[in-house]
Amino acid sequence: MTLLVTGGAGFIGSNFIFYWMKHYPEDRVICVDKLTYAGNIAALQPMMDRPNFRFCHLDICDRDGIERLFEDERPDIVVNFAAESHVDRSIESPEIFLTTNIVGTSVLMDACRRYGIRRFHQISTDEVYGDLPLDRPELLFTEETPLKTSSPYSSSKAAADLLVRAYHRTYGLPVTISRCSNNYGPYQHQEKLIPRMIFKALTDEPLPVFGQGLNVRDWLYVDDHCRAIDLILHKGRVGEIYNIGGHNEMRNIDIVRLICHELGKPENLIIFVEDRKGHDLRYAIDPSKIHRELGWLPETKFEDGLKRTIQWYLDNRE
């Protein structure tokens, strides 16, 4: 089988490629990445000499380039990780998010329609649901929760999800969508909360936390996410959405304190800064559907995953 992975030099995409080639060493994997600031080609170096791996420096919005690639490779499955994903950047410069996340997704699906595929899988986010109140812990996002976006980033991802579902209904394209909670683990760009705090703590820099750090996120170790995508590709129902959550709700301030503790750094490094515009209060996913239908549950406890992540950054500073 030939698998086309877009955004494969990014954080989750590269981890997914490692996962797939470990579990399915006979498959051919084609990685497409534009190599923006968030793409790290060095992460894929261990794959480069494998005869069943190919890297393509390509923008998913490049319709001609994508068409040529599909003509050459005729992929069986497309997994679309490619996205602009940083909320703060989307607030400053929305247009690139709309272009990559919406137009790029349509370019890929048009190629899928033309050349035929077994599955197009869209990697989405729990941020398309908006947020939940801090004082209602019983409330969780389900696949039926209405879309209620808060940022240009989440709006662009919600639009892409709607487009994917429209291609399924209008053209019969075999699609699935997964909406995951916040991922963490190796190779994550240091603009994100956990690696950013690790790097700053290592150099004894101030650790800036939005507001009072009370915003809650549901954290998912990246290997658990990769395993969930694997199950969806092999056993998931075409046309369905699957929420992937970590059962690890944590306040931002508590995560930063844990990082300080693990690195032996004083908590007085923590400073509180002006809150993000439109900052969502709480994300929390109900993964009952993927557990019920596909048997998936997260296996990594947050404390264990965080220790593993910190150690990886300590061992791989370059």
Q: Strand 216-221 vs strand 249-251: parallel, antiparallel, or unpaired?
A: antiparallel
Q: For residues 28-56, b (16+ Cβ closer than 10 Å) or e, as one string? A: bbbbbbbeeebbbeebbeebeeeeebbbb
Q: For residues 199-229, b (16+ Cβ closer than 10 Å) or e, as one string? A: ebbeeeeebebbeebebbbbbbbbbbbbbbb
**Which amino acid is present at 42?**
A
Measured on CA atoms in the order 132, 285, 251, 38, is the torsion positive or negative?
A: negative
Q: Which two tokens stand for residue 236?
A: 């998931």
The C-alpha atoms of residue 193 and residue 182 are separated, in whole angstroms, by 10
The C-alpha atoms of residue 106 and residue 84 are separated, in whole angstroms, by 15
Which positions are annotated as active-site residues?
Answer: 126-127, 153
The C-alpha atoms of residue 87 and residue 73 are separated, in whole angstroms, by 34
* CB of 141 closer than 8 Å to CB of 283: yes
